[in-house]
């Protein structure tokens, strides 16, 4: 389906993008510092799966319509920013910032995955990235373009999971070094909430599309 040279170039370029800390990496790191290894890893998986709708949009040509529409692009961008701010406000309203290992709410892991999936879905920059990046490696003479697009998406997200997991594990290790089991901190609550709100504000202000 792909020639070796093109696939190596794709993998190399994708790797360079992934290892550069961006909003997704910052989100994963802060989630790991805030809630530990399990939440961090589930966030990585949620973010990766959240890009699937974008890959499907690129594969079926919907992404081009969204990218060319200022209104649609900004609506999606502000929805994503608002969701991050909502997560931050929700965290600020919690009483305890850090829970003892094994004493968190049963749904904490599930919530981390779902919230991260939504963050991935509501990220319009992912559509622009896939729209600009994936088509360069699609060759209709080598097979169905939709299948090729989804195959490249899968390769990119496997790499994203590997890189993101490394960041998550490193952050959770640091958390274990500096946060004692069973400790609680209201300051930690404010820090985590502020970080999520900050990411939301940055998402809202960056890459604005207008006149």
What's the confidence (pLDDT) of residue 186? 59
Is residue 164 domain-resident? yes
Is residue 210 domain-resident? no
> Nearest Cα to 79, choosing from 120, 45, 108?
120
d(CA 61, CA 97): 43
Q: How many CA atoms lie within 13 A of 201 on its CB side?
A: 8
Is residue 194 domain-resident? yes
What's the confidence (pLDDT) of residue 82? 87
d(CA 27, CA 81): 13
Is residue 17 domain-resident? yes
31 backbone dihedrals φ, ψ, rounded to 5°? -65, -40
Is residue 211 domain-resident? no
What's the confidence (pLDDT) of residue 180? 60
Angstrom CA distances, 161 to 72, 122, 132, 156, 199, stand at 29, 19, 21, 9, 21
Range of the domain at 42: 4-205
Task: Count the Cβ atoms, other than its own, within 10 Å of residue 60.
Answer: 12
Domain count, the chain: 1
d(CA 92, CA 192): 8
pLDDT by residue for the chain (211 residues), tens only, comes to 677 888 899 999 889 888 887 778 888 988 888 888 899 999 999 999 999 998 988 888 776 666 666 776 777 778 878 888 888 888 777 655 444 334 444 345 788 899 899 988 887 778 778 888 888 888 878 888 888 889 999 999 999 999 999 999 999 998 888 766 544 455 566 766 777 788 778 767 765 544 3
Contacts of 116 (CB under 8 A, 6+ apart): 27, 31, 42, 43, 44, 45, 46, 47, 50
Is residue 108 domain-resident? yes
Is residue 32 domain-resident? yes
Q: What is the pTM of this model?
A: 0.76
Is residue 132 domain-resident? yes
């Amino acid at each position: 389906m792909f020639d070796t040279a093109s696939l190596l170039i794709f993998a190399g370029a994708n790797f360079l993008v992934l290892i550069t800390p961006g909003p997704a990496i910052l989100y994963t790191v802060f989630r790991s510092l805030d809630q530990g290894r399990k939440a961090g890893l589930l966030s990585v998986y949620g973010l990766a799966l959240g890009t699937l709708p974008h890959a499907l949009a690129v594969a079926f040509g919907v992404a081009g319509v969204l990218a060319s529409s200022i209104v649609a692009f900004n609506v999606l961008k502000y929805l994503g920013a608002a969701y991050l701010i909502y997560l931050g406000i929700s965290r600020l309203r919690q009483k305890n910032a850090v829970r003892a290992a094994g004493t968190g709410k049963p749904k904490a892991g599930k919530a981390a995955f779902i919230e991260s999936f939504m963050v991935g879905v509501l990220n319009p920059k992912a559509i622009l990235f896939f729209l600009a990046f994936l088509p360069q490696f699609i060759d209709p003479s080598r097979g169905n373009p939709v299948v090729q697009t989804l195959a490249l998406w899968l390769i990119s997200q496997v790499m994203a999971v590997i890189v993101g997991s490394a960041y998550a594990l490193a952050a959770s290790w640091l958390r274990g070094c500096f946060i004692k089991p069973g400790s609680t901190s209201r300051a930690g609550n404010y820090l985590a909430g502020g970080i999520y709100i900050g990411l939301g504000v940055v998402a809202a202000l960056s890459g604005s599309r207008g006149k």
